[in-house]
Structure 1
Amino acid sequence: MPKLPTLFALLCCSLPLLVNAQKADYRKTENGISLTFRNAPGTIDQNLAIEFIRDSIVHIRSTPLNNSVKQSAQLSITDTLQSKSTPHAIEETGNTIHLKNKVLQLSISLLTGQIAFLNPNGDTILCEMPRNAQAFTPGVANGDVFYKIKQDFKISEDEGLYGLGQHQNGIMNYQGKQVTLLQYNTDVAVPMLLSTKNYGLLWNNYAITKVGDTRELLPLSGLALYAKDSQQGWLTASYVNKENEKEVFTTRAESDIDYNDLSDLYKFPQGIDLSKCLVRYEGHFSSPLTGKQRLHFKYAGYIKVWIDGKLLQDRWRESWNAGTFELEFATEANEKHAIQIDWKPEGAQSYLGINWQRPIPQAGRRIFGFDSEAGDGIDYYFIKGSNMDHVISGYRTLTGKAPVMPKWVFGYWQSRERYKTQAEILEVAKEFRRRRIPIDNLVLDWSYWPEKDWGGQNFDAARFPDATGMISQLHKDHFKLMISVWPKFNQEATTYSQFMEYGWLYRRNIADGRKDWIGKGYTSTFYDPFNAEARRGFWDLLNKKLYQKGVDAFWMDASEPDIHSNISVQERKDVFQPSIGSSTRYYNAFPLQNAKGIYEGQRAEDPNKRVFMLTRSGFSGQQRYAAATWSGDIASTWNDMKDQIAAGVNFSMSGLPYWTMDVGGFLVEKRYYQPQAADQEEWRELNSRWYQFGAFTPIFRAHGQFPFREPFNIAPEGHPAYNSMVYYIRLRYRLLPYLYSLACKTYHDDYSILRGLAMDFTGDTTTYNINDQFMLGPSLLVNPVTRKGANSRTLYLPTGTSWYNFYTGEQVQGGQQIDAPAPFERIPVFVKAGSILPLGPSLQYTDEKNDQATTLYVFEGGNGDFTLYEDDGLTYNYEKGGFNYIQIEYDDQTKTVTFSKRTGNYTAAPKSRMFNIVFVSKQRPSGIDSQAKPNTSVSYKGNSIKVKLTNN
């Protein structure tokens, strides 16, 4: 290994020269090596264990010597995981130990414990920074003794970094950013990082964690502030009448804008009714540091931000569910900039907080860290892949496969907040079928129970007199019913006493007497899914009251858990008291355990019916419990729609493949309740654009507060908005052969349906920061329109291939930015050259019997393949081989399509299938809107067939 000693010397060149330093003791273990560091001048005293799980997956664990901290429960990693690596070589060279197999090399300093991960050629992929005194800081909470954990890594400045769950700041690439992993309505914490250098880090920790640039965010007063009249030290805050800005209620100096939680509201001027105010902050600021400055905003209400007279943000969020965004801008040190912030609070209780993230110093630009509030040691998995999909496959090796979802999940879902009666939901179902708008799933949101019985899981008999009959009728009309279930129990609920007697409920919120917002307000709490008996009890309740009535799937709302939206994080931790340890240690794992109970309960009750659930939060490993996640209570705004793109794609790149959102947005501005004509048309345009986007996500689901969200309640038949929404719902059903085959690939090959551009075009660095485009599967480049009044949009076509307009078949070369047409009724979608895109017939629901041909669009310009998948769509027979594959390949040189012999054991598949092939080329453009005649038709009976294509 001639390169390695030199390499490690370079990696450690910033460390002091260690002459005659005491080296670590080490011993070989069955699948790795164990090292002990005592009195080593280059590091702290620690035990370091390195274990190969697979040739490409290594488990790293470091704990202090004489560690007495209780080991954390193992929740994310599968119970059945076993090490299955091939033998590896161990070699000592000077002060370094080298571990090597055919995929990966590790170099470990015997002086510092620092680990470098290298490819077989000796090139560095990633390197730890040495652990120092900050790695393990003793902590305690609620009687639980632990360490505050910190580990930094040395990265390349030119790599793209993704994953980490779902966050609402519009950021795609996390280079240089700070991300807080904290479960919250609209934010999902998943500690999995994915790099364009084809590695991943799974940080095996359940606590609230800062990732990336982990330095503390500073208050706004960290900047030099200047008032409106140029006095130094603050901004001028004017509280004026929002109906008459000439009327000033009060003016005062404010240097820290820190109104983040309910407990901060006392800081506002006394005697001021915020609901009547426009708060205007004016003045200047300067930074003592040159470089990229970032301002982190938390806000509720209306907010506009100008810097140097340029409007940079214009947003709205309802008061009870504050949103976030970041502003990034470069400045020179001590350079003054004008700032104005106009904030209109939404109600008497509203929130605004601003923090400053300093420029990263030169020495820190290659540092990427994890900083967790609690743990028993540094614990992470390094995963190497030949591409980013292989890395995600390694993540699922550790945390579990994503099951194939029921086929109906890939149809269209309709929801609203909320269907209040049995008659109402049945009437909506009837109207969909009358209008022949395809649909598979209706969703019954919260408060179907009697008001005080939240947690009883009983239907209110006055409004749902025959729930069983209602569900049966929906099934007869080919609808599935998903129902909202909260892990919450009112003190007056019929189930409360039993759950409390068994010790299954958190008690602090009851002791505090904190009331919710329903009716008169009820004291409530949440059950403890970390308690196995409580999980079984909760499932038994759902089974008896809902599943046995025919409910098809569960919507696991408030699974953060959302004890209360606007209390501080510390107050939330005080209320959330898991039975296995402190909330500080296990804060982010509640949704994982909640999903576990439902999945295991339903599979035990009904072993061969596929489980499906929708959760508002997620965590590493949750994909194995048949859980999809939606992006929470986002707002019905153009900004929020755009932010969903990066949020959903990064969630998928965290290894959890099933994501969705409230198409149309959940929270609605009051101007849309009884809209003026212009507002009415904007509402229709916004929803049209959102439906267009939603049709190309893994799960297509419309939902939100009033106004009602059904297409026919948004716009009348014949309106461009109605036409567009119905068009994309119908298109969704034509895409089913493509989508369902990708769902199979997600299970069998650990694929990801929703894909950042960097996954498929890693060599094209232009794609790394694009946050408003994505790939749906291998073929479709989707470009949502997120700007009011747009009839075109600028987009980037990745290099290395040509692209075809999905609707017209027009060919465009890749490697360029274009201005693509985006008329009201269409968003730009492009198909990669070499693609084979299967489109099915028009359907009204996913299991509708239809023997019409499947159309294969074959796009000239590259070799391509697609594997068409068949199974029964409902059972777990696919786990036992009950599925078929039809491999279809296209050779661009010979213009030949080859259908392989059908393989598999799904005997109920049609013995014969018709395929119409449409060959798309520059000479013969043809898109899905062009009504082109097929080049040829093929009767496929399960045997291999070759078809020659021409441009005639």
Structure 2
Amino acid sequence: MKVPTAEPVITINKDQNTGSITNGNLTAKIDPFKNLSFYNQDNKLLLKGYQRNRIDDMTSSVDTTKVSHFNSALNIDSREFKPLVGGDFELKVRFEANQDEKLFGMGQYQQDFLDLKNTKLELAHRNSQASVPFVLSNQGYGMLWNNPAIGDVSFAKNMTEWHALSTKELDFWITGGDTPSQIEEQYAAVTGTVPMMPDYAMGYWQCKLRYRTQDELLEAAREFKRRHLPISVIVIDYFHWPKSGEYTFDPTYWPNPKEMITELHQMGIKLMVSVWPTVDETSSHYSDMKEKGYLIQTERGVPITMNFLGNNGFVDFTNPNAQKYLWQLLKNNYFDKGVDLFWLDEAEPEYTVYDFDNYRYYNGSNLQVGNLYPVTYSKAIYDGMKDSGDNQVINLVRSAWAGSQKYGALVWSGDIDSSFQSLRNQLAIGLNMAIAGIPWWTTDIGGFHGGVDNDPQFRELVTRWFEFATFCPVMRMHGDREPHTEPLSQDGGGKMPSGGPTEPWAYGESAYQIMRHYLNLRVALKPYIKKQMLAAHEKGTPVIRPLFYDFSSDGNAWSIENEYMFGDSILVAPVLHASESSRQVYLPKGIDWVDVFNGTASVGGTTITVKTPIAQIPVFVRADQYTNLKESFMVLQN
């Protein structure tokens, strides 16, 4: 997406020691106390630095009645650089708080609320946490904290404060707009949009922890075909390799990958393979990568940063040469054998100990640049695949930062637990990730940890999650189900046990029949989904988004956190609590809405009670689009 160019208008008043710069609809002003404020085209104040200084004799020439400022003895500046021992700075940037403000975006944090006002967020990646520091305000602006340093942000009642533990510079970007879509599209024009999603990726993805052998994987794929169930992608999870850092199939359990992939392709199924950035110190590439400087280093102690099934270092993807080195291994051992896409796991990266101050990258200390790691990880594989002829790259990745989307990053929400609380978290996470500029997002259907296939309570949860996932950007099953199997051996890929089955027929006949209907619905909705993916590619439009995105003039829509829009015409109200036989649904004003299960129309601007039997979650279509989508939803009746 090309960013339109504009000539900024700059004004300087030497007598008042003030200045302003206008670019498009946004104006930044600086007052005599070096405090910044931002205004839209209607001169509405959007954001103002939090400054508390005394107006003294040094500013006696200033007309203080025209200064939007407090005369205070606190001596607090809106921008604070604090020198660190050894060089560089700790940075804090403060803005005035607006108690009526609502804030959205910022990536994924494991919490079940959408509005981030009065929260404090760590600006760092962890397993199931991805910091993507773009925030959208209901006051008409968006702000990107364009600093990959480890830190935190507080959207408190008394002030907003951004904090970087170590940095060399201050860098943030602000845009204004009359609607959320204007703000989001302007942000996407700067940071990039996703590629066009491949047709196959809009279908159903089957994954589990873990298909242990070539025969297990093929048998699962064949069973989908025997049952005439739609499936687009099947996944080989971790430790299909003999040792971390070998980046190849363990031949004991995967003796003929090329033949296996050929059969999958003949069945119309794409293959995704998990890769980790971990390199075992006893693997064949470790010494070479260490000598070339391709591994993350430590400030103290030995450079072993993960001790899972061996002592491992992490590939340093901030090093362009390390990117090329790693891709060549993936190309030779996977891509050239027919592997279609990659699962970029451990992308935070997941250190055994999150001592952020102890790790050093090619680009600098982890404290200063650490949040860029998942971007460079995705970029390495994206560039390699593009150079190898793949023009519609999509790769699953467990973390992201601003800009990850343009490298084909499909982010998922990490190793979450199997509970309705976790499901509620995922709804908020998916919507805030979308606002943060990451339109490709998915979650482990049923959660990752703790599900037991034959437990009636878990079967209810996984069914409700499956229904929700039908209306997500990517519909993907995964999980570490109980009970585990025993390891196949004590060697290579045989060391790891496997979880229980995750295929739709694993949860009993009742759940299976419901899942079968929703799988068919996903296929029927493909033309609609394709339209939404095109908007994401061309403009950065989120595929799933809060109600306020499409109905910003409806004040109630800004407060609804348990519903969302799937594209521009379908409203989804997932069932988020156990044994819930009905729930309330708010329908945005300005249009009528049709219940897809009974064809009943309701007036927008009202809250209705909808029954939620186990086979149904409330789904409504804009009345003016119902004719176009009615046939797709008929598959739920068959």
What TM-score, normalized to structure 1? 0.60
Matches within 5 A, 1:854-869: none
Matches within 5 A, 1:652-691: 652-668=434-450, 672=452, 680-691=455-466
In structure 2, how many angstroms separate the alpha carbons of the residues matched to 1:779 and 1:94?
52
Tell me, yes or no, if structure 1 residue 431 matches structure 2 residue 230: no
- Contact 2:6 / 2:24 at 8 angstroms: preserved in 1? no
Offset, 1:741 = 1.1
Q: Which runs of 5+ in 1 are unaligned?
A: 1-79, 215-359, 840-854, 858-925, 932-952
In structure 1, how many angstroms separate the alpha carbons of the residues matched to 2:23 and 2:256?
64
Instruction: Spell out, residue by residue over 1:762-804, the C-alpha distance to the aligned partner (whole angstroms, 9 max, x if none).
Output: 2333333433211111111111112111221223222232211
Task: Give the paired residue count.
Answer: 594
In structure 1, how many angstroms separate the alpha carbons of the residues matched to 2:461 and 2:44?
49
In structure 2, how many angstroms separate the alpha carbons of the residues matched to 1:792 and 1:753?
26
Offset, 1:369 = 2.2
Amino acid of the structure 2 residue aligned with 1:584: L
Q: Partner of 1:533 in structure 2?
A: 321
Amino acid of the structure 2 residue aligned with 1:705: D
Secondary structure (helix, strand or coil) at the match of 1:151 reads: strand
Amino acid of the structure 1 residue aligned with 2:312: S
- Contact 1:738 / 1:837 at 8 angstroms: preserved in 2? no
Q: Partner of 1:714 in structure 2?
A: 507
Offset, 1:181 = 1.9
Tell me, yes or no, if structure 1 residue 805 matches structure 2 residue 595: yes
Secondary structure (helix, strand or coil) at the match of 1:149 reads: strand
Q: Structure 1 426/828 Cα, relative in aligned 2: closer, same or farther at 3 Å? A: same
Offset, 1:563 = 2.0
In structure 1, how many angstroms separate the alpha carbons of the residues matched to 2:445 and 2:233?
15
Q: Partner of 2:198 in structure 1?
A: 406
Q: Partner of 1:465 in structure 2?
A: 255
Matches within 5 A, 1:869-888: none
Offset, 1:157 = 2.4
Aligned match for 1:474, one of 253, 264, 269: 264
- Contact 1:796 / 1:816 at 8 angstroms: preserved in 2? yes
- Contact 2:303 / 2:313 at 8 angstroms: preserved in 1? no
Offset, 1:133 = 8.1
Q: Partner of 2:280 in structure 1?
A: 490
Tell me, yes or no, if structure 1 residue 138 matches structure 2 residue 59: no
Aligned match for 2:92, one of 137, 150, 166: 150
In structure 2, how many angstroms separate the alpha carbons of the residues matched to 1:496 and 1:157?
53
Q: Structure 1 412/702 Cα, relative in aligned 2: closer, same or farther at 3 Å? A: same
Q: Structure 1 928/807 Cα, relative in aligned 2: closer, same or farther at 3 Å? A: farther
Secondary structure (helix, strand or coil) at the match of 1:577 reads: strand
Amino acid of the structure 1 residue aligned with 2:366: S
Instruction: Spell out, residue by residue over 1:60-114, the C-alpha distance to the aligned partner (whole angstroms, 9 max, x if none).
Output: xxxxxxxxxxxxxxxxxxxx998821352526384432334552333221x1122
Secondary structure (helix, strand or coil) at the match of 2:386 reads: helix
- Contact 1:779 / 1:837 at 8 angstroms: preserved in 2? no
- Contact 1:806 / 1:928 at 8 angstroms: preserved in 2? no
In structure 2, how many angstroms separate the alpha carbons of the residues matched to 1:585 and 1:83?
31
Tell me, yes or no, if structure 1 residue 516 matches structure 2 residue 334: no
In structure 1, how many angstroms separate the alpha carbons of the residues matched to 2:306 and 2:536?
43
Secondary structure (helix, strand or coil) at the match of 1:378 reads: coil
In structure 1, how many angstroms separate the alpha carbons of the residues matched to 2:594 and 2:304?
61
Q: Partner of 1:254 in structure 2?
A: none
Secondary structure (helix, strand or coil) at the match of 1:738 reads: helix
Matches within 5 A, 1:559-578: 559-564=347-352, 567=353, 569-570=354-355, 572-574=356-358, 576-578=359-361
- Contact 1:808 / 1:929 at 8 angstroms: preserved in 2? no
Q: Structure 1 770/431 Cα, relative in aligned 2: closer, same or farther at 3 Å? A: same
Aligned match for 2:364, one of 568, 581, 596: 581
- Contact 1:712 / 1:722 at 8 angstroms: preserved in 2? yes
Secondary structure (helix, strand or coil) at the match of 2:165 reads: strand
- Contact 1:595 / 1:625 at 8 angstroms: preserved in 2? yes
Q: Partner of 2:491 in structure 1?
A: none
Aligned match for 1:595, one of 368, 378, 384: 378
In structure 2, how many angstroms separate the alpha carbons of the residues matched to 1:825 and 1:856?
18
Tell me, yes or no, if structure 1 residue 698 matches structure 2 residue 468: no
Q: Partner of 1:739 in structure 2?
A: 529
Instruction: Spell out, residue by residue over 1:724-779, the C-alpha distance to the aligned partner (whole angstroms, 9 max, x if none).
Output: 11111110011100111111111122211110112122233333343321111111
In structure 1, how many angstroms separate the alpha carbons of the residues matched to 2:524 and 2:305?
50
Q: Partner of 1:174 in structure 2?
A: 116
Which structure has the higher relative contact order (CA within 8 Å, separation 6+)? 2
In structure 1, how many angstroms separate the alpha carbons of the residues matched to 2:164 and 2:618?
42
Q: Structure 1 532/837 Cα, relative in aligned 2: closer, same or farther at 3 Å? A: farther
Q: Which moved more, 1:705-714 or 1:118-127?
A: 118-127
Q: Structure 1 188/796 Cα, relative in aligned 2: closer, same or farther at 3 Å? A: same
Q: Partner of 1:623 in structure 2?
A: 405
Offset, 1:119 = 2.2
Offset, 1:128 = 2.1
Tell me, yes or no, if structure 1 residue 542 matches structure 2 residue 330: yes
Amino acid of the structure 1 residue aligned with 2:435: M
Secondary structure (helix, strand or coil) at the match of 2:88 reads: strand
Q: Partner of 2:163 in structure 1?
A: 371
- Contact 1:389 / 1:752 at 8 angstroms: preserved in 2? no
Q: Partner of 1:106 in structure 2?
A: 28
In structure 1, how many angstroms separate the alpha carbons of the residues matched to 2:319 and 2:4?
28
Q: Structure 1 465/84 Cα, relative in aligned 2: closer, same or farther at 3 Å? A: same
In structure 1, how many angstroms separate the alpha carbons of the residues matched to 2:301 and 2:272?
30
Offset, 1:415 = 0.2
Matches within 5 A, 1:72-111: 84-88=5-9, 90=11, 92=13, 94-100=16-22, 103-109=25-31, 111=32
- Contact 1:573 / 1:587 at 8 angstroms: preserved in 2? no
Secondary structure (helix, strand or coil) at the match of 2:239 reads: coil
Q: Partner of 2:538 in structure 1?
A: 748
Identical-residue share of aligned pairs (%): 32
In structure 2, how many angstroms separate the alpha carbons of the residues matched to 1:471 and 1:428?
14
Instruction: Spell out, residue by residue over 1:480-511, the C-alpha distance to the aligned partner (whole angstroms, 9 max, x if none).
Output: 00010101101121221221221211244982
Instruction: Spell out, residue by residue over 1:417-468, the C-alpha distance to the aligned partner (whole angstroms, 9 max, x if none).
Output: 0000000000000000010110100011001112xx1110121111111011
- Contact 2:150 / 2:371 at 8 angstroms: preserved in 1? yes
- Contact 1:557 / 1:615 at 8 angstroms: preserved in 2? yes
- Contact 2:231 / 2:269 at 8 angstroms: preserved in 1? yes
Amino acid of the structure 1 residue aligned with 2:447: G
In structure 1, how many angstroms separate the alpha carbons of the residues matched to 2:149 and 2:10?
35
In structure 2, how many angstroms separate the alpha carbons of the residues matched to 1:438 and 1:602?
27
Q: Which moved more, 1:533-542 or 1:112-121?
A: 112-121
Q: Computing the radius of gyration over CA atoms, which structure comes out larger, 1 or 2?
A: 1
What TM-score, normalized to structure 2? 0.89
In structure 2, how many angstroms separate the alpha carbons of the residues matched to 1:456 and 1:729?
36
- Contact 1:666 / 1:703 at 8 angstroms: preserved in 2? yes
In structure 1, how many angstroms separate the alpha carbons of the residues matched to 2:441 and 2:463?
20
- Contact 2:517 / 2:635 at 8 angstroms: preserved in 1? no
Q: Which moved more, 1:499-508 or 1:471-480?
A: 499-508
Q: Structure 1 825/745 Cα, relative in aligned 2: closer, same or farther at 3 Å? A: same
Higher strand share: 1
